[in-house]
Amino acid sequence: MDDKIFSLGEFEEIVLLAVRRLGSNAYGIPIRQAVEDARERKIAIGAIYTTLERLEQKGMVSSALGEATPQRGGRAKRYYRLEGLGEQALDAVEQARRRLQGRPSLQPEGGGL
Amino acid sequence: MTDTLNLAMIAITTAMGLLVGYDSRRSATSGRRRWVSRAKVVIGVVGASTAVGVITGIGVGVSATPGKEMGMAVGIGLGVTLFVIFGVMMIAASEVALISLVNDVQTLRTRPIKAIESQSHPRPPQFAEYLLYFLPKNLREPLLGDLEEEYYAVYAKFGKRKAAFWYYAEVALSFYPVVYSWVRRLVKWGVLGWISGVVKRLIP
């Protein structure tokens, strides 16, 4: 497994998990809310967007513009979606954590389920 | 006598200033478009103060001094002094009214009247919004939209001032990670450039 491809910071991992959990409603505000709930501290919306931009450059998430509402001053929402590479990165981090904690792996070594 | 004249002058200039402010404000809130600028109001107030000051000063000067020319000179001097004092006082006193007046007029110029009457969608502080325009466009647009959406909720719950404070705080906090990301990129490329420079020197 190429560790370089799956290199994830702690904050990136949490943002990816939030995107995965939110599914089709993953845009700035709910993602920030989910991350704040998880970390139990306030997070700047700018931090969320710079992380999402970095993850998009790594190919772990993709984004698409959504609907514009009057409450947003006519600006469109940018929805994020977890890509296969992002899923694999999350799995890789989870496996590494399990190995370090001496817990059994969710997947057999060298293959799928 | 002088005290009475001074009091009368204060009353007249105050009334004139208030009239200018009241009339313009009424026209702004009734929704009719009318060109009123801060400069126009200031010139009106200062002009009125000067005229009243000079006329009063000449009257006082002529009646209080024996020679007519001397009286005129004293009067003009007194008038100019009063103009400076009361003109400045009037401008300071009407500053608050002027700011709201000019804001109203500017708002009427740039936004539909119905939006102001209903106040259905309050806008975030323009200056704070402007600061975010320094960010790259791909980050800026969704970020501005998200902040405006949340601003709307904070405004509805806590009012305009707290919502404005919240917005400024969010803008300030949002700058740090973005700037940090830029600096990190610059440092990364700077370090790579430095290493390549060293390698080039070592390998001729």
Q: What is the per-residue pLDDT across B54-85, written as a single tens digit (0 to 9) for each?
A: 777 777 776 766 666 777 777 777 777 766 66
What kind and span of H or E run contains B104?
helix B95-110
Cβ of A73 and B141 within 8 Å?
Answer: no
Q: Is A70 on the interface with B (CB under 8 A)?
A: yes
Per-residue pLDDT at A111 exceeds 50: no
Radius of gyration of chain B (CA): 29
CB A24 within 8 A of CB A79: yes
Range in A6-20, A49-63, B53-67 with the lowest mean pLDDT: B53-67
In the predicted model, residues of chain B with pLDDT beneath 50 are 22-31, 33-36, 96, 111-118
pLDDT band at A34; cut points 50, 70, 90 = very high
Q: Distance (Å) from the C-alpha of residue B186 to the closest C-alpha of chain A?
A: 15
CB B147 within 8 A of CB B170: yes
Quick one: DSSP state of residue A25? G
pLDDT band at A98; cut points 50, 70, 90 = confident
CB A51 within 8 A of CB A100: no
- Which residues of chain B neighbour A54 with C-beta distances below 8 Å? 181
**Each residue of B4-19: pLDDT tens digit?**
666 676 676 666 655 5
Cβ of A49 and B142 within 8 Å?
Answer: yes
* Whole-angstrom distance, CA of residue A107 vs CA of residue A77: 36
Cβ of B123 and A45 within 8 Å?
Answer: no
**Each residue of A79-97: pLDDT tens digit?**
999 999 999 999 988 888 8
Q: Is A98 on the interface with B (CB under 8 A)?
A: no
Choice between A29 and B203, residue whose per-residue pLDDT is larger: A29
H helical segments located in B30-67: 38-64
* Whole-angstrom distance, CA of residue B148 vs CA of residue B50: 47
DSSP string, A57-112: HTTSEEEEEEEE-GGGTTPEEEEEEE-HHHHHHHHHHHHHHHHHHTPPPSS-TTS-
Cβ of B174 and A45 within 8 Å?
Answer: yes
* Whole-angstrom distance, CA of residue A80 vs CA of residue A25: 8
Q: Distance (Å) from the C-alpha of residue A44 to the closest C-alpha of chain B?
A: 5
Q: Distance (Å) from the C-alpha of residue B96 to the closest C-alpha of chain A?
A: 29
Cβ of B145 and A54 within 8 Å?
Answer: no
Q: Is A72 on the interface with B (CB under 8 A)?
A: yes
Q: Is A58 on the interface with B (CB under 8 A)?
A: no
* Whole-angstrom distance, CA of residue A20 vs CA of residue A31: 10
pTM of the model: 0.54
SS3 of A41, please? coil
Closest chain A residue by Cα to residue B152: A71
